[in-house]
Structure formats: C-alpha cells, structure tokens
Structure 1
Amino acid sequence: MNYLIGLVEDDMNIQNIVSAYLRKEGYQVEILNSAEEAMEIWKQNPPDMWILDIMLPGMDGYELCKKIRSESEVPIIIISAKDDEIDKILGLELGGDDYLTKPFSPRELVARVKRLFKRTSLSHQPAWMDGDRLSVDELVIFKSDRRVFWQGTEYEVTTKEFDMLYFLAENINRAFSREDLLMKIWGNDYFGSDRAVDDLIKRIRKKFTDIPIETVWGYGYRMRNEEE
C-alpha cells in the first residue's frame, strides 16, 4: 500500500532529510510547516500517519495531536527536542503512538514508521475464527462461554481477568492508560484507585506465563502481538 505521511515540521533541514528517507522507502510525504496547515490537509486528504514536531509556530504539536486523536485512530509519531520524561508521558497521554527525541537517526524514524504501520495493520485484524472466538498468538478466548485458553491449556479466570484479557486482545497492540482501563473494566461508578489495574495485570501475568502484556512506562498497558 502506498501510504501517505503528513510531516508537520518547520525546520527545513529536518523536512528535507526525513522526507527523503521516507520517500526512498516508497512512502508519499506531505510536508507541512504548521499545525494550521496540517488541519487543512486533514480535512482535504487525511494522511495514513502523522509525524508531528512539538515546537511549532501557532498551535503546538500537543494540541494538534489531541485534536487528531479526538476524531481518528490514525498512527501518530511525535518528534521533539524536549527529552524530559514528563514531555514524553504527555505526548502518549494525548494520543501519540511513539515519541522520538531530537536529534534522531532518520533510519530509526523509518524503522519506527514501518513498525507502527505493521502494528496498526495487525490491530485491525484481530484474527477472529468465528463470531464467538478471538485468537491472538497463543491466546484463544470464547466470548459467550467466557472460556480462556493459553498455549493450548484452559484456565479458570475471574470476571475481571476475563474482561481485561478480552479487551486488550480485542484492541491488540494499542496502549491504554490506567485510567482508561479502570473505566472500561470497572465502570464509571468505580471510585477506587487505579492501583486496581496494576494488581489485576499482576495476577494475569502470574497465571498466564509469558503472556505478551507490556507495561507502557508511566502510562498503562498493551497486549503485543507476538507475530510482529
């Protein structure tokens, strides 16, 4: 597929280098100097992925990322000279899928672009065997019977363990914050700490040895497809 990437960056040198590497890999690249230009392109011809700088004239990259994510699940890579941990966490919380600190290797950026496109493609194909069965790698879940098999063995699970496994498997490779998981699994009426999410994930990992649930440091969790 000939993907279109929107590169929102006001530094001409970075524009030229990054776009050259991406085009060499067969991607189309739309270079945009500001978030405002990006908003116009978004309405006319939405890219398949965004690469956003944070420090932009006018609207900054964080705000643009937030606006895009509020209406679309399109992949977003944030690039920034800000390397503080809080900046990275903020970028992920606003909807960024990856965060790369300047100066960076163009080859590394291309590798991350490829990986993210692959992840996104896999996440849209969760490997349904039929209307009741969801399988991801060696995990098989039967929704109506609430039965869970891991590496060919059936496991007894609690209600919350089943709900968490099913939700993460249904949204394979997508990261969720602890707050998102708390609301999804426990509901809007739960007033406890998000520590409940950590405790539940800990129990699942203990029960299902080597299950590919990853910690997104400072943010939350995702289930990774082992086939990547």
Structure 2
Amino acid sequence: MNNILLIEDDLSLVNGLTFALKKQGFKLEVARMLKEAENLWTDGKYDLLVLDVALPDGTGFEFCKKVRRTSKVPIIFLTAADEEMDIIMGLDIGGDDYITKPFKLGVLISRINALLRRTNDFSTEGTMLQSNGIKVFLLQGQAFKNDRLLELTAAEYKLLCLFMRNPNVVLTKEQILDRLWDCNGNYIDSSTLTVYMRRLRIKIEDNPGEPKMLLTVRGMGYKWNVID
C-alpha cells in the first residue's frame, strides 16, 4: 500500500481527497500547515507527496526545497497558483508534476498512479547505464559524472535514464512526456520539458550553453549524443 502525505489547508478538499484516495487503496496522512508537515516528514516514510503552494504558515515551495535536499520522493503540486512563473518555479525546484485547481479527481489519481509506477520502474530495473563519462546505478537510483555524484531530482533522474537508454535516437516532446508521465502531454504546460532540459544540462554538461551530450534537434525533439 502506497503512503501519501497530503499538505493542504482547505478542509473540504482534504475531506474529499481523503475519501477518494483511501477508496483507491492509498494510505494517507494529512498536514494542514507547514509546521505539521515538517513534523510528519521523514525520508523513506512516504511514497509520494501532494503539496498545496499557499499555506497559512508558509508555502509548498519551501517544503519542496527542504525535501529535495535529502530525498527524491515524487512530488505533485496541487494548487490554485496557476501563473506560468509559479508552474516553472514548482518544477524548477524539484516538483515532478503540477496540477492546478479546479481539477478532475480522475486526472489526479491517474497521474499519482503514473508517477508511482514510473518511479518504481526506474528504481528497480536493470543494473547500470554508462555513457559520456556518466554512470547511472539503477538499483541505487544514483548517477555519477566522472565518479562525482550528481544531485538530481526524481524527474531529472528519470529524464537522464530515458535518454541514456535511447542513445543517438531523436525523441519527440510527446514521446518524452508520455514516457515520463504516462499521460496526455496536453496536461503539462509546454514550458515544462524546457525547464527540465535546462536544469539537467546545467548538472551534466561541461558547458550548458553549448551542450555536447543532450542536444536539441530543431523541429523534432531531443537526442542523447554519444561522444565516447
């Protein structure tokens, strides 16, 4: 049974989500304030976090940053903050998905299931990927460049694995989004993938402004270029 931590201050929404998620077989714990969430949080205790952005004593963004210092647990923002900059910030600090209110319950549950399934797939299959001085140890969920540990979020790690599994193959944006999130790409803002690519390049490329490994193929998509 997957254990979810919901951080949300709207009591009516908490009650509705508690009923719906437990009906789907999830175990759920709820925090209505940031302080409560910090008291509940322990790395390894939860399989997924669902965070509101605006909380009485802080923001979900603050909590996400703290969690990402030590954990790759999947994080979904569920919030009324629907400005493009809010979405970009949520993803840029380590969120794996961003859903704006109002939302359809079926969509939320599908995306929770998809994110849990993809996380499980990436953490349990195979042994190691190696290319361009980068090694990914799949069982441990860690990536190294020239024997230096890369501090990757869960989404960055999955994106890196996807490209390294498909060397020298052009992947369209639709293929990438479908593979990573297992849902219609239309649910995800068009800038989402650009944010992930920029963030991943900063961490793996010697010169992110002139990437050699993670290439943009104009009008088509992206490619992992094997250079060694």
* Residues 204 and 182 (structure 1), Cα distance of their counterparts in 2 relative to 1, 3 Å cut: farther
Is 1:182 equivalent to 2:177 in the alignment?
no
Conserved? CA contact 1:35–1:64, under 8 Å: yes
Checking the alignment, whether the CA contact within 8 Å between 2:7 and 2:52 is kept in structure 1 is yes
Give the count of matched residue pairs. Answer: 173
Q: Which SS does the other structure have where 1:36 is aligned?
A: helix
Aligned-pair CA distance for 1:127: 2.6
Q: d(CA) in 2 for partners of 1:200 and 1:117?
A: 26
The corresponding residue for 2:99 is 100
Note the C-alpha offset of 1:30.
0.3
Structure 2: gaps (5+ residues): 135-158, 166-178, 182-192
Shift of 1:40: 0.8
Deviates further, 118-127 or 67-76: 118-127
Please name the residue that 1:155 is paired with.
Answer: none
CA distance in 2, matches of 1:178, 1:126: 26
**1:202 partner amino acid:** T
Q: How far did residue 197 of structure 1 move?
A: 3.9
Q: Which amino acid is the alignment partner of residue 53 of structure 1?
A: D
Assess, with a 3 A threshold, how the Cα gap between structure 1 residues 182 and 103 changes in structure 2: closer, same or farther.
same
Tell me, yes or no, if the aligned pair for 1:4 and 1:49 is still in contact at 8 Å. yes
1:43 to partner: Cα distance: 3.3
Question: Partners of 2:205 and 2:218 in 1: how far apart?
Answer: 14
Matched, 1:202 2:216: yes
Are residue 49 (structure 1) and residue 48 (structure 2) matched? yes
Cα deviation for residue 185 of structure 1 reads 2.4
Structure 1 residue 108: deviation in Å? 1.1
Which residue of 164, 173, 192 maps to 1:169?
164
Which residue of structure 1 lines up, in the alignment, with residue 185 of structure 2?
none
Report what 2:5 is aligned to. 6
Q: Which residue of 2 aligns with 1:62?
A: 61
Cα distance in 2 for residues equivalent to 1:15 and 1:62 = 19
Secondary structure class of the residue paired with 2:36? helix
Larger Cα Rg: Structure 1 or Structure 2? 1
RMSD: 3.5
Distance 2:14 2:119 in 1: 24
Scaled by the length of structure 2, what TM-score is found?
0.65
2:131 and 2:164 in contact (8 A); partners too: no
Instruction: Please name the residue that 2:23 is paired with.
Output: 24
Displacement of 1:124 in angstroms is 0.7
Distance 2:2 2:216 in 1: 38
Q: In the alignment, is the contact (CA less than 8 A) between 1:6 and 1:50 conserved in 2?
A: yes
- The aligned counterpart of 1:71 is 70
**Cα distance in structure 1, aligned partners of 2:197 and 2:214:** 14
In the alignment, what sits opposite 2:148?
none
Q: How does 1:118-197 map to 2 (within 5 A)?
A: 118-128=117-127, 134=129, 168-169=163-164, 173=180, 176-186=196-206, 190=207, 193=209, 196-197=210-211
SS at match of 1:99: strand
Aligned residue type for 1:63: E
TM-score in terms of structure 1 length: 0.65
Is the 8 Å Cα contact of residues 123 and 173 (structure 1) preserved in structure 2? Answer: no
